[in-house]
Amino acid sequence: MELTYRPRRLRATPALRALVREHQLSATDFIYPLFVHEGASNEPIGAMPGAQRWSLEGLVDEVGRAWDLGIRCVVLFPKVADGLKSEDGAECCNDHGLIPRAIRRLKQVHPAMAIMTDVALDPYSCDGHDGIVDEHGVVLNDETVAMLCRQAVAQARAGADLIGPSDMMDGRVGAIREALDEEGFENVGIISYTAKYASAYYGPFREALDSAPRPAGGKPIPKDKATYQMDPANGREAITEALLDEQEGADILMVKPGLAYLDILHRLRSETELPIAAYNVSGEYAMVKAAAERGWIDERAITLETLLCFKRAGADLILTYHACDAAQWLRQG
């Protein structure tokens, strides 16, 4: 054949492929999500093999391991005792609550590790919703935002570096920015869950925290989060959310879930100059673990491919439960 272009020329050897490779993965791309509980020992999570509900001291050790593997940011999620849950989730702003204590402890032992937090009421709400539910079953926006601002300030006071509102209430990024600034935390950043979809991929996470929406007392409780999280059918709406978050002062935008939403990541990349994060969520992790346990897929190869594809699609950062494994695999080359 007389071909002018033979794209295979640049695929011929590992050296040539490395030379023209467009994207690379590195441990510093990862944010490692960790669950913490009040217990004295670590507890495995059924649907997330390898993940644990860490005790405070278990958490300290795991963060040390992550640091040694090159990871520079973790995000913390609390498994709150039932007795501390309430309709308004007020435990979320307790300065001596689980998360503020965990942050303070981590900053004592690993002061250079960046700590991100999650801002939402679901782990603290007896209804399992990210916001306050009124007697008609409506998730209240503005009342919830006031509580989230107090939660964010408590986290910043404990030493958090990045505040991550995951609740999808309207106007919360701007309100949290203002609340942080008023308290003198103008250098604490906001990584906003900008395009967070009402997704079935969060199932294992809700098991880990025992935080799924559930009926409590006499009032009607919505069984899903569709009145605040986005409809998986919608793409353009993600751009509206991104532009609002940017105007309101977000420092980093996030797309969640990751894998089925790579088009959203790609679209946001062309709409903003801010860093973008992808959340490789619990259901995505559980699917890989389940298939790997059966020997149906190669966990290492599939995980590194998936994480790299997030970067190709436009992510600068990736939240992944595979962070330590991936960092280790990258090291082995």
Q: Could you tell me the smallest distance in angstroms from the CB atom of residue 125 to ligand PBG?
A: 10
Closest to ligand PBG by CB, 162 vs 182, is 162
Q: Is 225 one of the catalytic residues?
A: no
Closest to ligand PBG by CB, 121 vs 327, is 121
Interacting positions 34-93 with ligand PBG (CB under 6 A):
none
Task: Give 73's strand partners.
Answer: 114
Q: Is 112 helix (H, G, I), strand (E, B) or coil?
A: coil
Q: Is 219 one of the catalytic residues?
A: no
Count CB-CB contacts under 10 A for residue 41.
11
Closest to ligand PBG by CB, 282 vs 303, is 282
x-marked contacts with ligand PBG along 98-127 as a string, rule CB under 6 A? --------------------x-x-x-----
List phi, psi (to 5°) of 81: -65, 145
310 binds ligand PBG (CB under 6 A): no
CA distance linking residue 311 with residue 107, whole number of Å: 29
Interacting positions 180-219 with ligand PBG (CB under 6 A):
202, 205-206
CA distance linking residue 45 with residue 55, whole number of Å: 13
Element housing 255 (H / E): strand 252-256
CA distance linking residue 136 with residue 221, whole number of Å: 8
281 binds ligand PBG (CB under 6 A): yes
Q: Could you tell me the smallest distance in angstroms from the CB atom of residue 40 to ligand PBG?
A: 25
Burial of 54 per CB tally in 10 Å (0-12, 13-18, 19+): buried
Question: Which residues make up the interface to ligand PBG (CB under 6 A)?
Answer: 118, 120, 122, 130, 166-167, 202, 205-206, 281-282
The catalytic residue positions are 196, 256
